[in-house]
Amino acid sequence: MKIINIVGARPNFMKIAPLMREMQAHPELEPVLLHTGQHYDANMSQIFFDELGIPRPEINLGVGSGSHAWQTAQIMLRFDPVLLEQRPDWVLVLGDVNSTVACSLVAAKRHIPVAHVEAGVRSFDRTMPEEINRIVTDALADLLFTPSRQADKNLRQEGIPAEKIYFTGNIMVDTLLQSAEIAAQRKTWARWNLPPQGYAVLTLHRPVNVDNPDVLTRLVDTLAQVANQLPLVWPLHPRVARRLSEFGLLPRLKAVPGLLAVEPLGYLDFLSLLTQAKMVLTDSGGIQTETSVLGVPCLTLRENTEWPVTLSEGTNTLVGTDSRRILHETQRILDGESKAGRVPERWDGQTARRIVNVLLEQIV
């Protein structure tokens, strides 16, 4: 059974690594890896293939950056002839990036079945482009592999037949558990002479947080106050760095000794940094899940999350962009009052095996 596996952006790379390994262990399967080129910068793409042992993609669409509409259209235009040439039995897509929805649309119109890994995840906020991508992809998919019981419930409420839904767990955790020991040995925190448990980690990339100068200015000022209490390591997404420059905020960053703005990190270096952080501040969905598995307190700089299980069972707390809430919850963590949390059901490193077992059942 020939399966074209779609990756395009940084979150996909951690998810595809265990799946490719598991597929390659079964001679009945012919996995083909396709990179749309949605993320193409070496620090955002190639380093993940190298560190995670992902095979070189057989096909690269080389799309590059652009608006959501342009990027989605270019992926569709370039993916369609690939389907006609390759004639796969299945197309497997991951997560919620533009590559996910674009390739699902093309495959569905060519009557090629689609499998969606990380299906049913919902923030219920349609101002997020990712939410639109999730809804459309799940409506088109023939197999929906979910990371939580809540995701199953979301899909059933949207009218997805139960026989298409498989609760397989969180694929990101497979990679995290496989990589944690190697990552810990890197001791990334030592680059900045920081002690274990003696620093916080920050990531920002959501347009709602970084594209509005008022919001980003408020966040920078608030995070400077956090950094005055605890050194704050901030790997800067390239687009965020451009916004900070455009809005004249770089001098404010440089004026705070404890606010360490650094280049983007590879997966293993970043995971190493997470493992020994006192706390994490982020607007990333993936990092909310990783911190819950690692038992690291996480403050999410958003008003909603597509991962509610990290709130009810994990170590995550929603704080939005309100300075008082951020500083109050930061102080609680520093005072030792953070959530204990526990690892959610089936976040056990066996998700790839469960997914591939379902795919094997589709062979006729």
- For 181-201, what is each residue's pLDDT tens digit? 999 899 999 999 999 999 999
Calculate mean pLDDT across residues 80-95.
98
Region(s) of the chain under CATH 3.40.50.2000: 2-169+347-361, 178-334
Distance CA 210, CA 364 (A): 49
Tell me, what's the pLDDT at 39? 64
**What's the number of CA atoms in the CB half-sphere (13 Å) around residue 195?**
3
Distance CA 2, CA 34 (A): 13
pLDDT at position 322 over 60 = yes
Where does 178-334 sit in CATH, by number?
3.40.50.2000
Distance CA 179, CA 271 (A): 8
Tell me, what's the pLDDT at 45? 60
pLDDT at position 120 over 70 = yes
């012919």: which residue's tokens? Answer: 30
Secondary structure string (H, E, C) spanning the chain: CEEEEEECCHHHHHHHHHHHHHHHCCCCCEEEEEECCCCCCCCCCHHHHHHHCCCCCCEECCCCCCCHHHHHHHHHHHHHHHHHHHCCCEEEEECCCHHHHHHHHHHHHCCCCEEEECCCCCCCCCCCHHHHHHHHHHHHCCEEEECCHHHHHHHHHCCCCHHHEEECCCHHHHHHHHHHHHHHHHCHHHHHCCCCCCCEEEECCCHHHHCCHHHHHHHHHHHHHHHHHCCEEEECCHHHHHHHHHCCCHHHHHCCCCEEEECCCCHHHHHHHHHCCCEEEECCHHHHHHHHHHCCCEEECCCCCCCCHHHHCCCEEECCCCHHHHHHHHHHHHCCCCCCCCCCCCCCCCHHHHHHHHHHHCCC
pLDDT at position 163 over 60 = yes
Tell me, what's the pLDDT at 129? 92
pLDDT tens string 210-266:
999 999 999 999 999 999 999 999 999 888 999 999 999 999 999 999 999 999 998
Active site residue 205: yes
The mean of the pLDDT values for the chain is: 95
Calculate mean pLDDT across residues 102-111.
98
Counting residues of the chain whose pLDDT is more than 70, the rounded percentage is 98
Tell me, what's the pLDDT at 55? 87
This prediction has a pTM of 0.93
pLDDT tens string 12-42:
999 999 999 999 999 999 999 999 987 655 4
Calculate mean pLDDT across residues 79-98.
97
For residue 97, count other CB atoms closer than 10 A to its CB: 25
The residue from 39, 68, 205, 237 that is catalytic is 205
Tell me, what's the pLDDT at 238? 85
Tell me, what's the pLDDT at 73? 97
Tell me, what's the pLDDT at 340? 86
50 vs 156, higher pLDDT:
156
Cα 106 to Cα 100, 103, 164, 217, 307, distances in angstroms: 10, 5, 20, 40, 28
Calculate mean pLDDT across residues 157-180.
97
Tell me, what's the pLDDT at 47? 77
Task: Report the topology of domain 2-169+347-361.
Answer: Rossmann fold (3.40.50)
pLDDT tens string 272-291:
999 999 999 999 999 999 99
Tell me, what's the pLDDT at 333? 97
pLDDT at position 44 over 60 = no
Distance CA 213, CA 247 (A): 6
Distance CA 272, CA 192 (A): 13
